[in-house]
Structures are given as C-alpha cells and as structure tokens.
Structure 1
Amino acid sequence: MSEDLPPTETAAKAEVRAAEAAAIRRRWITLGEVLAVIAVLISGLTLWNSWSERSDSAAVKTADAQRATTRAATLVLVAADAGERKLALKPVSAEQSVQSQKIAFPTSLGAPPAETTGEPRIEAEWFERGLKKARERADLPDNSRGDERLPVVITTRFLVDGEPHEDVALYDIGYTISGRLIAGHSVTLRGLSLVSHVKSGDAQATLDARWARLLPGK
C-alpha cells in the first residue's frame, strides 16, 4: 500500500518534474537551432566555394584570352625564302595576315621608303646603291667577312580574326657583298632578324642610331 504524501509535497515534486521536462525540451530546441545554423553555414560555404571556383575559372579564361590576344597582336617576321636578291617575308603566326608594309632605310643611304601590298618582301635593288656608297665612304673591304647587317624599320599592317593591327619594328637584314670597286659589287641577301619593336615617332631616329653603330666612320 503506497504511502500517501501531503498535498504540498506532491505539488513540489510535480513542479520539479515539470521543470526537468521543460529543461530537456529547451536543450533539444537549442540543439536543433545549433544544427540548423550549422546547416545554413555549410550551405553558405558550399555556395561560396562554388561561386569562387566559377569566378576563378572565369578569371583564368579571361587572362588566357588576353594573353592569346596579345600574342596574336605581336608580329614577328621571318624570311620565308632567302633568295640572292629578294627576301619573301611572312609572319611567324599563321593567324596573322599581312596586308601592307613600309620599309624604311637609314637616312644616310638616301633610299626612299619602299611600300608593298599583298606580297611582303625586301628587294636588294631598293637600297643597294646607297649601301655601296656608304661602305665606300666608311672604307670597308670590298668583300664581306661573314654576314653583314643593314638595319631597317618595317611598318606592317595586318589582320587577326578580321581585326586590323599595326606593328612597327626594327630589323636587321643579313647580307653579303663581294666584288671590286671597278668591276662593281654584288649584294646578296641572307635573311632577316628582329631587333626590337619601336614607337612610330622614334623609329627613324632609332634606325639611324643603330646604323651609326653598325657602320662607324661613314
């Protein structure tokens, strides 16, 4: 037979049990809230990571495209066919299509600039007479001792994917000369090498300065 408790004691125990139950519910609610916050944070981090990866990928693609555009717009010419009297020129990059060129020579040669359209080239007859006179004034040997160098400035207008570009650069023409003063000299073209890209406004001065170094005492 159970012992009967006084009403006040029974009420106190009921309040204790009710308080314990409420505390348990609060703990579960708090834990649920924490888990919900963690879930939100995880979701946010996942979205941020996904966005960051897309952003990085887009940045890489943009940088690659910019580098590709810069490479495409940077022209380097080579001699495709080194004949004795004419050099046929072509761009290193197959993406570039030369439309026209202007070849400028050192001022002291007295040779006017030569212009080409549709057939990039350099011909010995454009500058040969002035070159021979310059070598004579400089008291240089009748015959070359290896390949000689004549600097020129080549202004090239070209297309890349239909977009027009212009390049101004200093090149050295490789040549040899042989013969005698009385019998006449013969100039043979050997090739072309890039020296540097230059600004249009400084091109002639840069060209003349290089020629002064290559042919001292002219």
Structure 2
Amino acid sequence: MSEMPETPKEARAAEAAAIRRRWITLGEMLTVLAVGISALTLYLNWSEKQEERADKASESRQASARSVKLVLNARADGSDRLLLSPAAPEQIVQSQTILFPKALGLAPVPTTGEARIEAGWFADALKKAREKAKLPDDSVGDEQLPVEITTRFVVNGEAHVDTALYDIGYGIAGKWLAGHRVTLRGLSLVARGAVGDPQERVDARWAKAVKARS
C-alpha cells in the first residue's frame, strides 16, 4: 500500500518541528560553549590569583630575608666617635659586642642601646700595637682596624643575632710632644657569618693590614 502524500498542513508542521530541533541543537551548542567559556574564565582567574599569591609570597620571603641581614652604617660624631645604625629602618639594635685584634690586648667591648664605636676604647692600645709593628707614626690615607661585631637586634618583635667582620677606618697623626691622635673615619663590611673562630679572623685581618703598611 502506498503512503498517503503529506497535506500542506502536515508539511508545515514537519518543517516547524525540524526548525525547532535545529534551534534546540544550536541552543545546546551555545549552552555548552557558554559553560566552557565560563569554566575557562574561572580557571584563568584562579590561575592569575595563584600567580599573584605566589608572587606576594616570594616578595614576602625576600623582604623577610632582607630584614634579617644586618648592614651597619656609620656616621661620624666628632672625630673620635662613630654612631652606628642599621641600613634597614625596621631593624632595632639592642646590644653589641666588639672584638678587637689580640695584638691590642683588649677585652671585647659590650654596648647596650646606643650602637657606637669610640676611639677611647682602643686608641692607646692601637698606638702601642702600631709602634710594636713598626708602622709609620702618621697614616697615609685611611688605616684599617679589623673588628668582629656581634649585634643583637629586633625585627617586627623577633630577636636576631648577626656576627660580621668590619674594618674601622681611621687616621693617626701628631707630633712627639703633643702625642698622636686617632681620628675615626667610618666603618666598612668585610664579611658576615663566616665559620670558624672570630678571634682568628680578626687577627688574620690585622696581620694583613700590618703587612700592607710595613
């Protein structure tokens, strides 16, 4: 039996149904695409935030590492005193111990609160040590006196200790009757956190300075 031909009404209904199916398929595709775009946007936002957090964490770690590395600046207070202060403003010095070369025959000098170096602590001993080493009475340029400085300081409420080898820059001049005068010039960092005996490091540095001036 042959099929009955579609009436115009049925043809229009079939065409309308086909159009609806196409729209449904297109709508589904758009929905999937929208979900994909949304998921990609969320991932990119999450990834960007992760990178920002990683960058901030890295910056925080670097800032923290910098804050516990102590570098001392020296400012002359007259000719016989150096006032010391940390290069980083968030660091607060609590106390220091200054170790001199054994050739000077001095005990380590402790300070509390005001970080400083005073010529009066070592000037006479330095003159005698220079005389014994047969160094010139008057300096040509800046002389160097090595010292090991142990500094106890606070950063954001946390206590830290730094030990470093520094050179005190000084000059010495005078006449036989008036005596020689030691003038302090400044302070320079040589090395920090070195292993071994601090006294040996200071003595080795002093021997090198004496040899260079002899």
AA paired with 2:33?
I
Which of 134, 138, 146 is the equivalent residue of 1:139? 134
Q: Which moved more, 1:88-97 or 1:100-109?
A: 88-97
CA separation of 1:203 and 1:27: change in aligned 2, threshold 3 A: farther
Which of 191, 194, 199 is the equivalent residue of 2:189? 194
Alignment deviations for residues 111-132 of structure 1 (CA, whole Å, 9 cap, x no partner): 1110000121112232223322
- Aligned partner of 1:92 in structure 2 is 87
Q: Is the 8 A contact 1:78 1:90 kept in 2?
A: yes
State TM-score, norm by structure 1: 0.82
SS at 2:26's partner residue? helix
Q: How many equivalent residue pairs?
A: 211
CA separation of 1:200 and 1:166: change in aligned 2, threshold 3 A: farther
SS at 2:202's partner residue? helix
- Aligned partner of 1:204 in structure 2 is 199
- Aligned partner of 2:150 in structure 1 is 155
1:1-150 paired onto structure 2 within 5 Å: 8-10=2-4, 27-150=22-145
State TM-score, norm by structure 2: 0.83
CA distance in 2 between partners of 1:141 and 1:103 (Å) = 26
CA distance in 1 between partners of 2:82 and 2:112 (Å) = 15
Q: Please, which runs of 5 or more residues in structure 2 have no aligned partner? A: none
Tell me if 1:176 matches 2:171: yes
CA distance in 1 between partners of 2:5 and 2:95 (Å) = 106
Identity %: 57
CA distance in 2 between partners of 1:82 and 1:192 (Å) = 13
Displacement of 1:12 in angstroms is 9.3
Who wins on radius of gyration, i.e. which is larger?
Answer: 1
Q: Which moved more, 1:101-110 or 1:184-193?
A: 184-193
Q: Is the 8 A contact 1:72 1:93 kept in 2?
A: yes
